[in-house]
Chain A
């Protein structure tokens, strides 16, 4: 994608977010759904496939461009992004990076157009931060594989047509984690999707349990045609997604800041705008510093991903810093709003709840610290 074209696309997404979605945030919250007309516009524009290669009908944005879009998308209800986030991100990228040609041909075009919604089904009870602990089993039966197990909190599961499902084919051993990834169409007998989870925030984005009971898929359903591709696929897909989540956090933080500045300038106490109190100004200053640092870091990490310089530590650094940053920024935003900030119809109240998730999924902050710290020590021990 050329810079020229991308500049136009980015400004259009910005325009769409601010003019079409921002005015409808309350509706999204109250109905717990993205309105159908917005969904149609998003699909027609091509947002379901922005990170899927052009040869498969997507836009083929690289991660540097991806983060610029993510910053725009973070500016409104995060459920909007979630709707097409799994297709472009964690689920789609497994296919892009590790699928066989046949698998790509079969699925990526429909993912890019939004005809198919894909979910990433990794987490299980007892296997969240440490996916190596997952217990969903895949057993060979003739040419087929038969899957049994329970997944939980799977984003977009109630809408999904395809589950990118992680399952154990053998115990972990010296040759690998023993985890493979299967493409399981949602209408395969034995796949059952639970009721929608009731969450703290991100109304309009749905998660639920997914249960696999004697689910039979053909040998061609295994990603990359190999039992040993799965775990690497998960780690790579998640690492790329971390930079995206970092940028999303920056967008949300910018919104919280903009709301707070506007509120501080207009709202008065005893006739004085609260923005003229220095303690309020200090909060704004800390927020602004966080947003700018986060933006620079997300961009830097994306550039290092694209160049190949660092695809392990930098993504974790960006996710850790930016998701923690937006947590603080959202907290300060509520503080600046006073009691107003505790009321449901105020954007910063929604942001405060929505961004809490960003520190939990796709690797908690603790897990990011382990990756960063562990990676640094390991590099030193290897004498690099």
Chain B
């Protein structure tokens, strides 16, 4: 069972995130970056399936040069090798273009499963796996809180509001996972030291057969037209409880049409 895990480098969730004023893209340079949190669960799940079924786990990431740090983290958790798509021409690519580029990279690899996190903490679109499934013509199993693989069949429990659905597909398939699925391991210190020695292939657009005019800010189908900072939080309204606190809270909720 060969598994590809898609990993995204994102600004630290706790840091103040900004858009670049000149080209309205995410300012990646001035913040700390981390592995998108749910992607850690994706890596963990791949490693667990591998422990059970054998095969190789390959990390794929599209990111600027600095993305190597995040790739290394996935390798230090135990993945076998990695492919890093890095090219200045990718700057400003939107989700649609990114899915095109990633699909091209996936096309150079042999796999039974692609596993990804269900969404990224920076863009929060949760759209990459469906886009990829469409482009690759492969089935998508989204929102998995459990994955089982049985020969050429992959079955998931898809988290729903009231419980879960059981969905299955034949491989090769694309699976997105949610945080409920497992608890990601901390890399062992030995794993951290070994990560640098694992095979890491860096691809440019040309290497991956990506057409330059189909990626990047200039040709992006979606454009950021305008943005502004979130308004500062309003000072709250303090209600003093003089025996009628409950009534006042209810009145407030009613006035906001919340009850």
Asked if B188 and A45 sit within 8 Å, CB to CB, the answer is yes
Which chain A positions have C-beta within 8 A of B185? 44
Whether the Cβ atoms of A46 and B190 lie closer than 8 Å is yes
User: Is B127 among interface residues, defined by CB-CB distance under 8 A?
Assistant: no
Q: Which residues of A contact B186 (CB under 8 A)?
A: 12, 16, 41, 44-45
Whole-angstrom distance between the Cβ of A271 and the nearest chain B Cβ? 11
A327 to B82, CA, bound (A): 49
The answer to whether the Cβ of B187 comes within 8 Å of any Cβ in the partner chain is: yes
Contacts of B187 in A (CB 8 A): 12, 45
Residue contact A5 to B188, C-beta cutoff 8 Å: no
Chain B hits for A9, CB < 8 A:
189, 192
Task: Compute how far the CA of A41 lies from the CA of B184 in the bound complex, rounded to whole angstroms.
Answer: 11
Q: In the assembled complex, how far is the CB of residue A366 from the closest CB belonging to chain B, in whole angstroms?
A: 38
Residues in A with CB closer than 8 Å to B73 are 8
Q: Is the interface of A mostly helix, strand, loop or mixed?
A: helix
Which B-chain residue is minimally distant from A12 (CB atoms)?
B186
* Chain A proximity of B231: nearest CB distance (Å): 24
Interface residues of B in 184-204 (CB under 8 A from A): 185-190, 192-193, 196
Q: Is A59 an interface residue (CB 8 A)?
A: yes
A305 touches B (CB below 8 Å): no
Closest beta carbon of chain A to B109's beta carbon, Å: 27
Interface flag for A50 (CB, 8 Å): yes
List B contacts of A8 (CB < 8 A): 72-73, 76, 192
Interface mask (A2-22 → B, CB under 8 Å = 1, otherwise 0)? 001100110010001000000
- Measured CA separation A44–B190 after assembly (Å): 10
Per the bound structure, the CA–CA distance linking A155 and B54 in Å amounts to 43
Contacts of B189 in A (CB 8 A): 9, 45-47, 50, 59
Closest-by-CB residue of A relative to B189 is: A46
A9 to B189 alpha-carbon distance, docked (Å):
6
How many angstroms from the CA of A44 to the CA of B192 in the assembled complex? 12
Q: Name the contact of A44 in the complex, choosing from B76, B188, B193 (C-beta under 8 A).
A: B188
Q: Determine the distance from Cα of A324 to Cα of B190 in the docked complex, in whole angstroms.
A: 36
Chain B residues whose CB sits within 8 angstroms of the CB of A44 once the complex forms: 185-186, 188
Select from chain A the residue with minimum beta-carbon distance to B185: A44
A46→B76 contact, CB < 8 A: no
The residue in chain B whose Cβ has the minimal distance to the Cβ of A50 is B189
Q: How far is the CB of B121 from chain A (nearest CB, A)?
A: 16
Instruction: Tell me the residues in window 166-222 of chain B with beta carbons closer than 8 Å to chain A beta carbons.
Output: 185-190, 192-193, 196
Contact indicator per residue, chain A 26-67, by CB within 8 Å of chain B (1) or not (0): 000000000000000100111100100000000100000000
Name the B residues within 8 Å of A47 (CB-CB): 189
C-alpha spacing A240/B186, complex, angstroms: 29
Give the residues in chain A near B193, CB-CB below 8 Å: 1, 5
Tell me the bound Cα distance from A50 to B192 in angstroms.
Answer: 13
Q: Which residues of A contact B76 (CB under 8 A)?
A: 8
State the CA gap A47–B192 with chains docked (Å).
13
Residues on the A chain within 8 Å of B72, using CB = 8
Q: Which residues of B have CB within 8 Å of A1?
A: 193
Chain B residues with CB under 8 Å of A46's CB are 188-190
Chain B residues with CB under 8 Å of A41's CB are: 186
Instruction: Write the residues of chain A forming the contact surface with B, with a CB cutoff of 8 angstroms.
Output: 1, 4-5, 8-9, 12, 16, 41, 44-47, 50, 59
Can you list 29 A-B contacts (CB < 8 A)? A1-B193, A4-B196, A5-B192, A5-B193, A5-B196, A8-B72, A8-B73, A8-B76, A8-B192, A9-B189, A9-B192, A12-B186, A12-B187, A12-B192, A16-B186, A41-B186, A44-B185, A44-B186, A44-B188, A45-B186, A45-B187, A45-B188, A45-B189, A46-B188, A46-B189, A46-B190, A47-B189, A50-B189, A59-B189
The 4 closest A-B pairs by CB, nearest first: A46-B189, A8-B192, A59-B189, A46-B188
